[in-house]
Amino acid sequence: MTTATTKRRRLVNLRNFPTFTATSWAVLIFLYLPLVYVIGYSFNSGRMVMIWEGFSLHWYTVAIQDINIQRALTNSLKIAVVATTLSTVLAVLASLGLVRMARNGKRIAWALIGIPLIIPEIVLAIGTLAFFMAVKIPLGIFGLILAHTAFCIPFALLPIRARLSQLDAAPFEAAYDLGANDREILRRITLPLLSPAIVSGALLAFAISIDDFITSFFIAGPGATTLPVYIFGMIRSNVTPEVNAISTLLLLFSGIVLISSYVLNRVRR
């Protein structure tokens, strides 16, 4: 290891800054203490959210048996499954098509596809609502599927793009030399090599869709209330530990999906 490399590593060692450790702990506490609070008070036996009266699983039972919650969860799952499928297919097609584009065109295309990652979601939600009203697309399940598909594409595309950029060209060159056509290479080489990233992107898109509130709040019509929108309605009307229980279950589900996505994205074949 050279002296220059050693100095460079010392320069980026943030632990040498006096307030780095304290600031890091403060940020972590600020981010995760509310989650700990929600999870802890989801086991409260009383009806008051702010007052602990004892440990109980009562509110989980109430949440699971609530017909309105079941209906909202069903809507969220329907929308998430269809939107995930469509966005993942479009993300795979986009990633394969952009590989062969010229460098300047590729940069422009990536920038346009990645706009939902940069623009505030409320702006996209208002724009989507205005567009749907202009072209007479009815609000509800169908509109939510279209909206979720649109903003889930870049999330599904991220792991696929990363995996595609790391693929070795040798298997493709060997397949061409052996007389395989583009369709056979796509089916037997490209898609199997991309499969961990495709599943990872699909799980990421699914988590984003099922957790979305802002777009769903604007686009949902009568009978199309999703679970996050329903939780928001519960907070505005009658706050009980049932809200904490639902939020904890949703947090657990999202965490499992995101961890699975991360693990699959680390798979190398």
Ramachandran region of residue 137, left (φ > 0), alpha (ψ -120 to 50) or beta? Answer: beta
Over residues 117-133, the pLDDT tens digits come to: 888 889 989 999 999 99
Q: Tell me how far apart the terminal alpha carbons of the chain are, to the nearest angstrom.
A: 31
Best mean pLDDT range from 35-49, 79-93, 105-119? 79-93
**Is 95 inside a domain boundary?**
yes
Which DSSP string do the residues of 194-250 spell out, in sequence order? HHHHHHHHHHHHHHHHHH--HHHHHH--TT---HHHHHHHHHHH---HHHHHHHHHH
Higher pLDDT, 14 or 49: 49
79 vs 211: CA distance, rounded Å: 11
Q: Which residues pair with 102 in a beta bridge?
A: none
Closest listed residue to residue 209, CA positions, set 259, 137, 257, 264 = 257
Closest listed residue to residue 224, CA positions, set 156, 132, 155 = 132
Over residues 187-237, the pLDDT tens digits come to: 788 888 888 889 888 988 998 999 899 999 999 888 889 999 998 888 877
230 vs 218: CA distance, rounded Å: 13
CATH number of the domain enclosing 233: 1.10.3720.10
pTM of this structure = 0.80
**Is 91 inside a domain boundary?**
yes
Q: What is the mean pLDDT of the chain?
A: 83
**Is 48 inside a domain boundary?**
no
Count of structural domains, the chain? 1
Place of tokens 């802890």: 40
**Is 170 inside a domain boundary?**
yes
**Is 169 inside a domain boundary?**
yes
**Is 52 inside a domain boundary?**
no
46 Cβ neighbours under 8 A, 6+ residues apart = 52, 53, 54, 241
**Is 31 inside a domain boundary?**
no
**Is 90 inside a domain boundary?**
yes
Residue 109: domain span: 66-265
